[in-house]
């Protein structure tokens, strides 16, 4: 990690912590009926999302999938409006009409979480085309899981982006499973990033995607390459979700030992050890950040609780009628 200021390190730590606390809180609130509908947690995967998005500019664009809370937080979504959206309140980022899988924030370049697996790829090719057509040096990053890369849309989108040299990064968080399907049973190659070769573009791999420093370093190179107009790239980052696929998952397809072994590789723990060992921050300083993050999440819950429900007429806003 070259020339990274203490402030930047603490920003990364804070955003990872906020993503962690947000999902831990939601996991409790779902059971109390505060959050309706299906929700997917990225606890355990914070390093992948924050270590990458930290390199983006405000007007660079991201697309998320169903597991996008950490990416929204990394891209500066207002935490109150995000919480309110999950609670279905009118103060939510999508006026309470969408919930967890319809969190968008255009002013910060966040084109939304998405319930359609593989749904972000072609959209990202579209915004990257616009970025290039309009002679900007902005880029698009499309986040997806491992499972999504077996959708036809992945291959069609990467092919078009490669052919037209569009400024888009296909960011694969390989957490080993698509719901209960082990990725090793769903595809015939040990890695997903090697697919880049078939399209004549670079493929990058971060084996320890729980190490935010490794993600940060690798992604920095890719952003530089893509921003300079060299065309798209693929990156595969290996991580693991601690919780079930969604709020409805009995988790019978993986063992407790496997889950526990990944909890040992906690990205928060790893980063804390790094920061303390390198004397970038003290444990006390980091504890303060944890406290601040927990309070912000608690305040967001209060904000959401005290916000009104949407009225029926809001359902007819922001839709095309002709």
Residue 179 is a binding residue for ligand TPP (CB under 6 A):
yes
CB of 225 to ligand TPP, least distance (A): 25
Q: Which is nearer to ligand TPP, 116 or 198 (CB)?
A: 116
Q: Which of residues 161-200 bind Mg ion (CB under 5 A)?
A: 175, 177-178
Question: Using the rule CB under 6 A, is 235 a contact of ligand TPP?
Answer: no
Cα(241)–Cα(142) distance, integer angstroms: 19
User: Considering the rule CB under 5 A, would residue 114 count as an interface residue with Mg ion?
Assistant: no
User: Per the structure block, which two tokens stand in for 54?
Assistant: 């930290």
Which of 117, 162, 168, 223 is the binder for ligand TPP (CB under 6 A)? 117
Q: Residue 123 CB, nearest distance to ligand TPP (Å)?
A: 14
**By the rule CB under 6 A, 245 interacts with ligand TPP:** yes
The entry of ligand TPP, Mg ion, none near residue 67 (CB within 5 to 8 angstroms by kind) is ligand TPP
Of 68, 99, 124, 147, the one binding ligand TPP (CB under 6 A) is: 147
DSSP string, 120-173: HHHHHHHHHHHHHHTT----EEEEEETGGGGSHHHHHHHHHHHHTT-SEEEEEE
Residues in a beta bridge with 174: 238
99 binding ligand TPP? (CB under 6 A): no
Number of residues that bind Mg ion (CB under 5 A): 6
Residue 92: partners with Cβ closer than 8 Å, 6 or more residues away: 81, 82, 84, 85, 86, 98, 304, 307
E strands, the chain, where?
A: 61-63, 140-145, 168-174, 177-178, 181-182, 203-206, 233-238
Task: Check residue 146 for interaction with Mg ion (CB under 5 A).
Answer: yes
Say whether residue 144 binds ligand TPP (CB under 6 A): yes
Q: Does the footprint of ligand TPP cover residue 177 (CB under 6 A)?
A: yes
CB of 184 to Mg ion, least distance (A): 12
- Conformation bin of residue 167: beta by default, left when phi > 0, alpha when psi is -120 to 50: beta
Pairing verdict, β 203-206 and 181-182: unpaired
- 45 scored as a contact of Mg ion (CB under 5 A): no
Sequence-separated (6 or more) residues with CB below 8 Å from residue 16: 46, 47, 50, 70, 212, 267, 268, 271
Determine, following the binding rule CB under 6 A, whether residue 70 of this chain makes contact with ligand TPP. Answer: no
Cα–Cα distance measured from residue 63 to residue 104, given in angstroms and rounded to the nearest whole number = 9
Q: Applying CB under 6 A, does 69 fall inside the site for ligand TPP?
A: no
**Alpha carbon 143 to its chain's center:** 6
* Number of chain residues interacting with ligand TPP (CB under 6 A): 16
Chain positions contacting ligand TPP, by CB under 6 A? 66-67, 115-118, 144-148, 175, 177-179, 245
Chain positions contacting Mg ion, by CB under 5 A? 145-147, 175, 177-178
């Amino acid at each position: 990690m070259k020339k990274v200021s203490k402030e930047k390190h603490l920003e990364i730590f804070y955003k990872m912590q906020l993503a962690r606390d947000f999902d831990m809180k939601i996991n409790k609130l779902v059971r109390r009926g505060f959050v309706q509908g299906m929700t997917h947690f990225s606890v355990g995967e914070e390093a992948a999302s924050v270590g990458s998005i930290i390199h983006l500019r405000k007007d660079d664009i991201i697309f998320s999938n169903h597991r996008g809370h950490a990416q929204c937080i990394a891209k500066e979504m207002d935490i109150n409006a995000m919480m309110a959206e999950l609670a279905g309140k009118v103060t939510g980022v999508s006026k309470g009409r969408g919930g967890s899988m319809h969190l968008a924030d255009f002013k910060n370049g966040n084109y939304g979480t998405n319930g359609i697996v593989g749904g972000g790829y072609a959209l990202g090719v579209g915004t990257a085309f616009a970025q290039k057509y309009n002679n900007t040096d902005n880029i698009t990053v499309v986040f997806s899981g491992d499972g999504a890369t077996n959708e036809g849309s992945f291959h069609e989108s990467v092919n078009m982006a490669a052919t037209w040299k569009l400024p888009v990064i296909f960011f694969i968080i390989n957490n080993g499973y698509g719901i209960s399907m082990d990725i090793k049973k769903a595809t015939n190659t040990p890695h997903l990033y090697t697919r880049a070769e078939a399209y004549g573009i670079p493929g990058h791999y971060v084996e320890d995607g729980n190490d935010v420093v490794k993600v940060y370093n690798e992604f920095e190179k890719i952003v530089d390459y893509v921003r300079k107009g060299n065309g798209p790239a693929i990156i595969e980052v290996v991580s693991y979700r601690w919780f079930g696929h969604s709020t409805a998952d009995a988790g019978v397809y993986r063992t407790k030992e496997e889950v526990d072994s990944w909890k040992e590789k906690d990205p928060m723990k790893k980063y804390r050890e790094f920061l303390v060992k390198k004397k970038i921050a003290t444990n006390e300083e980091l504890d303060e950040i944890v406290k601040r993050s927990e309070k912000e999440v608690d305040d967001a819950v209060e904000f959401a609780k005290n916000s009104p429900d949407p009225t029926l007429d809001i359902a007819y806003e922001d839709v095309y009628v002709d």
